[in-house]
């Protein structure tokens, strides 16, 4: 019994040890509570920022169905870094999810040949293009990425066809997708554009972009900007060739009162020339609509030529190696 009592007495902690353990435990709990309170404040702030972003996106007026190519013609990126990165991903996913509808097969010819369709109205412009190229899907997608100025690699552009300065604002890339947010200055006009590239498989690559008009971190200097959206599909059709299918949309913030007003605003020099060349006994709107149709075809042909030139550079031995 004495031995058992001695063992029990020997295992008891002194009051000093108990007090120290309690103090240490209390301090640990206090620190944990402070950390939890700080995390709560941060999370609450994040929730408020997220709600503000959602409210701002929801407050952007939606265009009537006949006006918009997509239900969200505009997008907004906030200042807060975490919400901003969420915004990048959300916009990229919206571009991805819109591909099948925007590039519906019914829009394109059944035959595999180059084709251009131009639609102009006071609501804006839509180009539907199909091009056959001798290239791999990777080469064709890379050419589109460069033609659309998705990165600052401007040294690859034939500068007699394209003149622009590109500043990278954000970039994210993984094995199968890439996202690039850039500030593009072209002809003295600035625009922020989010580009997206997704490799579905070896036979299919999607390339898309859209303009961003509201950005708290990188504000756009121009007061008046059109909405730009474009979707491209690169699909292999043989061992050596791909088909590129493109839908490119330009929409003004508000519908123009007439086609003449659109031409006067978007292409003032062409408007002046067209006024001088106005045929007699021709309706003004019909004349300007034809002028815009010709302009649209010229834009599409220049686009095709630029794709060919960039592909030639990419396929040159010095680049390929």
Mean of per-residue pLDDT scores for the chain: 84
Domain boundary residue among 10, 30, 59?
A: 59
By the 10 Å C-beta count (0-12 exposed, 13-18 middle, 19+ buried), 132 is classed as middle
Structural domain boundaries, residue 32: 19-59
For residue 35, the model assigns a pLDDT of 79
Tokens of 228: 């730009």
Q: Which of 8-22, 71-85, 235-249, 300-314 has the lowest mean pLDDT?
A: 8-22
Q: Which of 33-42, 55-64, 241-250 has the lowest mean pLDDT?
A: 55-64
Q: Are residues 196 and 280 in the same domain?
A: yes
- pLDDT tens profile 252-284: 878 899 999 999 998 999 999 999 988 888 898
State what percent of residues in the chain have pLDDT above 90.
Answer: 48
Domain boundary residue among 37, 59, 81?
A: 59
Q: What is the CATH number of the domain that holds 292?
A: 3.30.530.20
Q: Are residues 152 and 219 in the same domain?
A: yes
Provide Rg for the chain, Cα atoms: 29
Q: Are residues 316 and 176 in the same domain?
A: yes
Task: Name the band, by pLDDT with cuts 50, 70 and 90, for residue 29.
Answer: confident
For residue 51, the model assigns a pLDDT of 81
Q: Please report whether residue 45 resides in a domain.
A: yes
In the predicted model, is pLDDT for residue 303 greater than 50? yes
Q: Are residues 52 and 115 in the same domain?
A: no
Q: Please report whether residue 66 resides in a domain.
A: no
Q: Are residues 195 and 307 in the same domain?
A: yes
Q: Rounded to whole angstroms, how far apart are CA atoms 210 and 197?
A: 12
Q: Are residues 44 and 162 in the same domain?
A: no
DSSP for 51-62, please give it: HHHHHHHHHSPP
DSSP conformational letter for 256: -
| Crossing angle (nearest 10°) for helices 268-276 and 284-315 | 130
Q: Are residues 306 and 167 in the same domain?
A: yes
Q: Count structural domains, the chain.
A: 2
Q: Rounded to whole angstroms, how far apart are CA atoms 180 and 196?
A: 7
With vertex at residue 172, the alpha carbon angle to CA 171 and CA 178, rounded to the nearest 5 degrees, is 105
Q: Please report whether residue 30 resides in a domain.
A: yes
For residue 73, the model assigns a pLDDT of 66
Q: Are residues 124 and 202 in the same domain?
A: yes
Task: Name the band, by pLDDT with cuts 50, 70 and 90, for residue 302.
Answer: very high
**Report field, pTM of the whole predicted structure over 0.85:** no
For residue 160, the model assigns a pLDDT of 46
Q: Rounded to whole angstroms, how far apart are CA atoms 106 and 189?
A: 35
Q: Are residues 132 and 46 in the same domain?
A: no
- pLDDT tens profile 212-247: 988 999 988 655 678 899 999 999 999 999 999 999
DSSP conformational letter for 263: H
Tokens of 139: 């080469």
For residue 222, the model assigns a pLDDT of 56
In the predicted model, is pLDDT for residue 189 greater than 90? no
> Once rounded to an integer, what is the mean pLDDT over residues 126-148?
95
For residue 2, the model assigns a pLDDT of 56
For residue 244, the model assigns a pLDDT of 97
Q: Are residues 149 and 249 in the same domain?
A: yes
Q: Please report whether residue 2 resides in a domain.
A: no
Q: Please report whether residue 90 resides in a domain.
A: no
> Once rounded to an integer, what is the mean pLDDT over residues 36-41?
79
**221 or 123, higher pLDDT:** 123
For residue 198, the model assigns a pLDDT of 97
Q: Are residues 122 and 25 in the same domain?
A: no
Q: Please report whether residue 143 resides in a domain.
A: yes
Q: Please report whether residue 6 resides in a domain.
A: no
- pLDDT tens profile 143-175: 999 989 887 765 555 554 455 688 899 999 998
Q: Please report whether residue 128 resides in a domain.
A: yes
Q: Which of 16-30, 136-150, 214-228, 285-299 has the lowest mean pLDDT?
A: 16-30
For residue 224, the model assigns a pLDDT of 64
**39 or 200, higher pLDDT:** 200
Q: Are residues 192 and 268 in the same domain?
A: yes
């Amino acid at each position: 019994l004495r031995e058992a009592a001695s063992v029990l007495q020997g295992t008891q902690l002194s009051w000093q040890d108990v007090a120290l353990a309690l103090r240490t435990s209390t301090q640990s709990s206090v620190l944990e509570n402070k950390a939890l309170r700080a995390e709560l404040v941060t999370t609450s702030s994040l929730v408020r920022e997220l709600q503000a972003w959602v409210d701002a996106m929801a407050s952007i007026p939606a265009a009537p169905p006949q006006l918009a190519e997509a239900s969200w013609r505009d997008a907004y990126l906030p200042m807060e870094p975490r919400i901003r990165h969420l915004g990048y991903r959300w916009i990229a996913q919206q571009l991805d999810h819109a591909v099948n509808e925007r590039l519906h097969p019914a829009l394109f010819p059944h035959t595999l040949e180059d084709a251009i369709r131009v639609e102009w109205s006071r609501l804006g412009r839509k180009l539907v293009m199909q091009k056959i190229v001798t290239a791999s899907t990777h080469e064709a997608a890379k050419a589109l990425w460069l033609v659309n100025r998705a990165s600052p690699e401007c040294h690859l552009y034939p500068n007699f066809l394209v003149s622009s300065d590109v500043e990278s604002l954000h970039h994210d890339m993984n094995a199968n997708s890439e996202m690039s947010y850039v500030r593009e200055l072209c002809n003295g006009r600035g625009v922020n554009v989010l580009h997206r590239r997704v490799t579905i498989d070896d036979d299919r690559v999607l390339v898309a972009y859209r303009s961003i008009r509201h950005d708290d971190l990188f504000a756009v200097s121009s007061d008046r900007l059109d909405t730009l959206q474009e979707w491209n599909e690169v699909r292999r059709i043989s061992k050596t060739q791909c088909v590129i299918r493109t839908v490119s949309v330009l929409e003004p913030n508000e519908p123009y009162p007439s086609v003449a007003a659109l031409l006067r605003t978007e292409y003032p020099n062409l408007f002046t020339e067209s006024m001088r060349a106005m045929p007699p006994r021709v309706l003004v709107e019909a004349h300007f609509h034809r002028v815009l149709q010709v302009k649209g075809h010229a834009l599409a042909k220049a686009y095709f030529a630029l794709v060919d030139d960039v592909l030639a550079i990419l396929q040159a031995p010095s680049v390929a190696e």
